[in-house]
Amino acid sequence: MLEKGIINTKQFIWLLYIIISSFVAMQIPSIMIMQAGRDAWLSVLGAWFLDVMLALVYAYMGIRFPGENFVQYSITILGKYLGRMVGILFPLFFLLAGTLVLQGLSQIVSTVFLPTTPFQVILIASYFVSALIGRKGIEVVARMTEVLGPLFFISIIILCFLVLPSFEIDRLKPQFDQGVSQFLVGAPLLLTSFGVCIIMSMYIPLCNRPENGFLAKFIAVSLGALAVGLITTLSVGIFGIEDAQYMYTAGLELAKMINFSNYLERVEMVWLLILVGSTIVASSSLFWAFGQGIAQIVGLKTYQPLIYSGALLSLVLCITSFPRSPQQTHFYHYTFPIVAVFVEAGLEIFLFIAALILGKRGTA
């Protein structure tokens, strides 16, 4: 059957937060620093503002079409055929996002934890666990985020507090030394990562208080922006833009700085374990959204078999298209933002305008 689970507002918040934080805790800080330099932290503020504005549209559409996600109201607005052509792009986008997240996670695990283990073995194990969790349904995923979400957020705050003595504020000066162009490009670039939380449209119909959709997104993206802003700012202030822009995982490099004399070392492993768990759960949510969306497009009675088939398709895409980290970085930096802007903003604004012009509303 299709998803019948119900989530509350608190679970809604952590479901969104864990996707944002997992997506941006890996490569995004270094990419932002490479793009915006010392002004990277300002780009985080700009992306936060833009994402909040976009969330207003998704929250409004969730209320205008009660009980429907964007796959379903695409069909309501545009009709049976064109609506399905538009609606299928959303679950396919989630599959792509899940591919990037798990590839990045597997790369980190291979480099730090298991350098002698074949990368494909780590990748397959990550996909298997993620698909297994996603198949259990949104309620199971939501319960896991209630534990991992706060734990991940608190770990980032503690991490930033412990490395703060090494921070040099002069490394952040001067602002706009190369004009505002870098900041203006950096904000939309980061928005494409924050914007993965358009998945909120899949959660709104399942929330026991759907009117809280915007509130949940606002809190989640604010927490996520705070986390990535702290990591980005501290990376520049401690390592300088010359080194920070080339770090694959800036948060991990910060964690490596922590040690308590000779009594406790390699503290970064604890933070990395939390990151691994959070990213696995985030990707399972993306695979769940893919299965749910495709099932609604095709008209299936259950979405669960699609989780494994979607994960397998994603795994093949990951191995063939991103066999090494440089290929993924290049795609993530140059191609993914174009795809993300089209899906996250372009399609939804198109549906919003079409609903207003055609006078379409939900009937639930």
Q: What is the pLDDT of residues 288-313, one digit of tens each?
A: 999 999 999 998 888 888 999 999 99
In this prediction, residue 141 carries a pLDDT of 93
In this prediction, residue 188 carries a pLDDT of 81
> Which two three-digit tokens encode residue 147?
């534990």
Share above pLDDT 70 across residues of the chain, in percent, rounded to a whole number: 93
CA distance 99 to 214: 27
pTM given for the model: 0.91
Contact 272, 112 (CB under 8 A): yes
In this prediction, residue 176 carries a pLDDT of 73
Lowest mean pLDDT across 216-220, 253-257, 259-263 = 259-263
DSSP assignments along 214-268, one per residue: HHHHHHHHHHHHHHHHHHHHHHHHHH-HHHHTT-S-HHHHHHTT--BTTTB--TH
pLDDT bracket for residue 1 (50, 70, 90): very low
CA distance 323 to 311: 17
In this prediction, residue 293 carries a pLDDT of 92
Q: Is the pLDDT of residue 77 over 90?
A: yes
Contacts of residue 12, defined as CB under 8 A and 6 or more positions apart, other chains included, come to 142, 200, 203, 207, 212, 213, 216, 220
In this prediction, residue 361 carries a pLDDT of 87
Q: Which helix (H) or strand (E) holds 294?
A: helix 268-298
> Which two three-digit tokens encode residue 144?
């896991």
In this prediction, residue 270 carries a pLDDT of 78
End-to-end CA distance of the chain: 19
In this prediction, residue 36 carries a pLDDT of 78
Closest to 28 measured CA to CA, from 329, 327, 253 = 329
Q: Is the pLDDT of residue 322 over 70?
A: no
What phi and psi, each to the nearest 5 degrees, are found at residue 176? Answer: 55, 35
Domains, the chain, ordered by start: 9-349 (1.20.1740.10)
Closest to 3 measured CA to CA, from 201, 143, 205, 196 = 205
pLDDT bracket for residue 56 (50, 70, 90): very high
In this prediction, residue 131 carries a pLDDT of 93
Lowest mean pLDDT across 8-22, 301-315, 324-338 = 324-338
Please tell me which residue, 2 or 308, carries the higher pLDDT value: 308
Contact 58, 215 (CB under 8 A): no
Q: pLDDT tens digits, residue range 36-55?
A: 778 888 888 888 999 999 99
pLDDT bracket for residue 260 (50, 70, 90): low
pLDDT bracket for residue 223 (50, 70, 90): very high
* 207: DSSP letter: B
Q: How many CA atoms lie within 13 A of 294 on its CB side?
A: 19
Please tell me which residue, 139 or 190, carries the higher pLDDT value: 139
DSSP assignments along 295-334, one per residue: HHHHT-S--HHHHHHHHHHHHHHHHHH-SSHHHHHHIIII
Q: How many CA atoms lie within 13 A of 45 on its CB side?
A: 6
In this prediction, residue 174 carries a pLDDT of 77
In this prediction, residue 11 carries a pLDDT of 93
Rounded mean pLDDT, 267-274: 78
Which range of 164-173, 243-252, 348-357 scores highest in mean pLDDT? It is: 348-357
Contact 85, 93 (CB under 8 A): no
- Token pair 């993306």 is found at 286
Q: How many CA atoms lie within 13 A of 177 on its CB side?
A: 10
